[in-house]
């Protein structure tokens, strides 16, 4: 029983999520406002991505650069406004987990491209393969 009391936050409420601060209705409204700002920015970036893909105002080869830039901005918006990832000292484990996840995804993508390039380089040309089947 003493362990439960010792682990409870000092405010006396044990229903708070990690990183959530005790506050009344004002704290809830501020949190909701943060989510609404994030949602608005995410929707604007999504609409901008569709616009960039369909418009002829952006130079053709630059469309992919614009889409990648908007995608990275979208990831940043989600990390900050929805996952509450900050540079605070208590978020060190979250940042390390994110970096590890990005590293694994990088290895999977680069490894897949490397394997496909080697398969393409090592495979027999189609005309030779067709001659062998006759």
Give residues with Cβ within 8 angstroms of 83, minimum separation 6. 94
Lowest mean pLDDT among 5-9, 21-25, 29-33, 50-54: 5-9
Rounded to an integer, what distance in angstroms lies between the CA atom of residue 68 and that of residue 104?
Answer: 19
Q: Which two tokens stand for residue 68?
A: 């990648």
Do you know the residue count of the chain?
Answer: 134
Kindly list the domain boundaries of the chain, sorted by start residue. Answer: 24-84, 89-134
Whether the Cβ atoms of residue 69 and residue 48 lie closer than 8 Å to each other: no
d(CA 71, CA 43): 12
pTM: 0.60
What's the pLDDT score for residue 85?
Answer: 83
The mean of the pLDDT values for the chain is 81
pLDDT, tens digit, for every residue of 75-133? 989 988 888 888 778 888 888 888 999 999 999 999 999 999 998 888 888 888 888 88
Q: Do 126 and 120 contact (CB within 8 A), yes or no?
A: no
pLDDT tier, 8 (very low <50, low <70, confident <90, very high otherwise) = very low
pLDDT > 80? residue 47: yes
- The alpha carbon of residue 98 and the mean position of all alpha carbons in its chain are separated, in whole angstroms, by 9
Is pLDDT at 27 greater than 80 in this prediction?
A: no
């Amino acid at each position: 029983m003493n362990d439960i009391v010792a682990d409870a936050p000092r405010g006396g409420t044990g229903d708070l999520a990690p990183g959530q601060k005790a506050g009344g209705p004002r704290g809830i409204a501020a949190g909701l406002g943060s989510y609404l700002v994030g949602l608005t920015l995410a929707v604007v970036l999504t609409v901008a991505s569709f616009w960039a893909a369909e418009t002829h105002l952006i130079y053709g080869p630059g469309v992919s650069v614009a889409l990648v830039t908007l995608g990275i901005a979208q990831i940043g918006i989600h990390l900050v406004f929805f996952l509450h990832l900050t540079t605070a000292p208590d978020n060190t484990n979250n940042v390390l987990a994110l970096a590890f996840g990005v590293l694994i995804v990088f290895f999977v993508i680069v490894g897949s491209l490397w394997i496909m390039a080697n398969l393409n380089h090592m495979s027999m040309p189609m005309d030779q393969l067709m001659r062998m089947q006759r």
